[in-house]
Structure 1
């Protein structure tokens, strides 16, 4: 396994250590990170939607307009969005790899704006459902490109923090939606739910306007035969325009040679993740991360907090909306704070501690719910609310940010877009099932449904212990060593023996081709 130790105050590139970079002191890096905020908005859009649905289902005006939807219909409100996302996934990598990361974000945003217009103008249940299908379709395309651009553009020292922050901004959107629906609850007509729906278009409008100021991924430029543009981007963002900077040159050579080796090996298809031991290990992590991130009990609160709170006697819409709003603020604080520890503590310890904590909290949550059901004592209901906050503290220690941060970094460039589709497909499948089943289960068996998650979390903890490995303090291209060992396809100074052989073959092939062309010219 590759060495992940780094001297404090340094970062690694190609096995060499360099002094830390203060991004706020460098104009170009500071500007690039500011612009990446508009890329991050993709995740915030997703969070806005989840909280908005929660809020709308608490609004009497919305429920009356939609003829008081039952548990299964409530599930369809959210679930149809994830079905739309699932159907968009097969084309997502072709947009991100073919047209570029920025075009993927832009196309997804355009579709989302169309969906928001349809949703805001809905005159019946069917129209609202159709709009949410297209919303999911657009989110999937943007979501399949945004984290790739972030992880491929960031300075190697800041990559882990920035890619982990990406998914935690889900809560920024969630907070805005939670408090906006709380405010519009005082509007006594249909605008109480149409206003939050209209505001949902704002992040997508900002992305379409600003994403073109963000540099394209240098790795994508190299994959398209434009190495000069890639070097220019790396130099501009990572070294204030100095293309001769040592870190930039090491990065450039490693990226260029690694992508060339991957192309030579022809490891770009959908089935490549099934073919080698290292790729199968990656696939297990991708699928499990997508599943665990949604099947850990968090779906009960993310989309159906009203049903959970109804079950412990908190039925006032204002009170439910305040709890939802405060919970999302707490979630954002915890999730964002933990992003700055992923390279200090490590991915594996965070995943283990987070999952173990969730399991303990959910057991206590279940016991308190049973006690309230049996006694109707208000203190037991209050204890459930406290356990929800503690549970999310544990969840956000790892699963919120590292869902994307960890999965995107373990994939080689040639499989990154397709591999993330596997992960997002599992997320959508889990959400589609959860959002449709959760309200039905809560209606019929109430707190007893929580027992399922208590058992499931124990199984999750076991799986994480045996399959999740550490990747901290490792440059993006070199993470392959953790999974493939000596078979890792890496170029540059960090190349493995197999990588060097393939690199030599590529060079020999190029020399032979050039010699042949010269001979033909002479003839």
Structure 2
């Protein structure tokens, strides 16, 4: 597939066909403050990471499994899986909150629900109560997760959008690290607090988000969609040009965003089924659905939620050793995934996806062979080599999937379909995670290493699919990415307007002029 992106002079970025010198955000007070506050918005993903690692850790604690009545494999699956059913239940209302009340309110509402769920989870007296709490936790996560990446991508300076939006999903690893090492520490507590303390600590990200999200400006695109262009201009100028409303970049951005959203409204492309109606939208839908599925159903779910069972198959059964491996892996994941965020504009999305998925496929095949050899020979070196392959597998996974899952899918969607379109991604994520968390412990228990063969075949399929359908979007402003999917039919306004965009914009202006003329006549 040919490279679709436009070239940009080194040291510059492009908006509406014009190049602007890159800026250092650390030297701009408003940008610096906004990006610092956006870190708290990113904690939504960290909450997800904390949860997965916490459950992973709790299942290695005898204090937890004993208190819960030594649950079977299917009940263990529900401990994690019910979270994703809760998320699925929330998805139909998520875009209406983000689009109707605003991105910030979506984060606050989701975080508030999570706080209530954490309180119920921490006070659980049996596994039924614990599972019920986790359903509501998933409900809240979905609402916050449906708003947070939208706010980040719509507020960031065009030069930094790709990096910051990619960082969003990698904060999953921060939460995962904290939970992994916290459960390792509480393992030394010989009572119920060994698992209740990690559960209570899960409330902290939500508390921080509720407090700090109000220091982040609301999305200027949301303001325009609600008929408040003055507020939108104020936000763009404040964040991107230190308050200078007359800055050339600010004016270009504002006109492009304003006209594009007006054109999308005029075309009435806002429903759930819009992604099925045109060739370009169907291409988007293929990417959204596949990315959600591939990100979670590539073998990573085996380790993310059931590392204990994976390590059992290679003879590592000591809980202390398991917790150390889990904690070390999460630190490694954070280092790799965060580093790669700064290369998405240099290397490009498509090459990263291909290298990442190809590497995962190769390492998973080796992982499977080594697991079979250990099962056949019980040679400890084969088991140790499997641990090395797990680290190498995640190195490849983190090249792309940790960060680009959200940043790539959110950027290919026009504003009018962005909140609803991301729901398609999260539906597939939740379906894949529910399947993984419910089926994986059963499959690992019944057929052990043979279950890995399924993922070897699937990863080869993923690689082919990505090669055929994933396109490059680097060095392209948010609104203008539509051109790669829709060509001249893309609904883009401003100085980068397409033929169709210009026609619709002129129709809007003609209607406005006629309306003004009629009012003038009536006044006379």
Give the shorter-chain TM-score range: over 0.9
Cα distance between partner residues in 2 of 1:186 and 1:54: 17
1:279-328 per-position Cα deviation (integer Å, ceiling 9, x unaligned): 00000000000000001000000000000001100000000000000000
Cα distance between partner residues in 1 of 2:345 and 2:34: 21
**Counterpart position of 1:148:** 150
Asked if 1:223 corresponds to 2:210, the answer is no
**Counterpart position of 1:114:** 116
**Counterpart position of 2:85:** 83
1:117-172 per-position Cα deviation (integer Å, ceiling 9, x unaligned): 00000001110000000000000000000000000000000000000000000000
Return structure 1 stretches of 4+ with deviation > 4 angstroms. Answer: none
Q: Secondary structure at the match of 2:345?
A: coil
- Counterpart contact for 1:4–1:471, Cα < 8 Å: no
Alignment of 1:314-393 (within 5 A): 314-393=316-395
Q: Secondary structure at the match of 1:343?
A: helix
Cα distance between partner residues in 1 of 2:211 and 2:483: 39
For residue 455 of structure 1, the aligned residue among 437, 454, 457 is: 457
- Counterpart contact for 1:116–1:198, Cα < 8 Å: yes
**Counterpart position of 1:181:** 183
Asked if 1:520 corresponds to 2:522, the answer is yes
For residue 105 of structure 2, the aligned residue among 87, 103, 106 is: 103
For residue 38 of structure 2, the aligned residue among 32, 36, 39 is: 36
Q: Please, which runs of 5 or more residues in structure 1 have no aligned partner? A: none
Cα distance between partner residues in 2 of 1:518 and 1:84: 55
Q: How many residues align?
A: 522
**Cα displacement (A) at 1:56:** 0.1
**Cα displacement (A) at 1:5:** 1.2
**Cα displacement (A) at 1:2:** 5.2
**Cα displacement (A) at 1:520:** 2.4
Asked if 1:66 corresponds to 2:64, the answer is no
**Counterpart position of 1:57:** 59
**Cα displacement (A) at 1:514:** 1.5
**Cα displacement (A) at 1:69:** 1.2
Q: Please, which runs of 5 or more residues in structure 2 have no aligned partner? A: none
Cα distance between partner residues in 1 of 2:95 and 2:357: 30
Asked if 1:431 corresponds to 2:433, the answer is yes
**Counterpart position of 1:444:** 446
**Counterpart position of 1:471:** 473
Alignment of 1:126-275 (within 5 A): 126-275=128-277
Cα distance between partner residues in 1 of 2:383 and 2:77: 25
Cα distance between partner residues in 1 of 2:345 and 2:478: 13
Cα distance between partner residues in 2 of 1:284 and 1:248: 34
Cα distance between partner residues in 2 of 1:171 and 1:438: 21
1:220-246 per-position Cα deviation (integer Å, ceiling 9, x unaligned): 001101111110100110000101011
Taking a change above 3 Å as real, the CA distance of residues 222 and 485 of structure 1, as seen in their structure-2 partners, is same
What TM-score do you get using the length of structure 1 for normalisation?
0.99
RMSD: 0.7
- Counterpart contact for 2:52–2:176, Cα < 8 Å: yes
Q: Which moved more, 1:85-94 or 1:506-515?
A: 506-515
1:446-483 per-position Cα deviation (integer Å, ceiling 9, x unaligned): 00000000000000000000000000000000000110
Cα distance between partner residues in 2 of 1:459 and 1:49: 30
Q: Secondary structure at the match of 2:399?
A: coil
Cα distance between partner residues in 2 of 1:82 and 1:296: 17
Cα distance between partner residues in 1 of 2:174 and 2:4: 36
**Cα displacement (A) at 1:70:** 1.3
**Cα displacement (A) at 1:518:** 2.0
- Counterpart contact for 2:83–2:137, Cα < 8 Å: yes
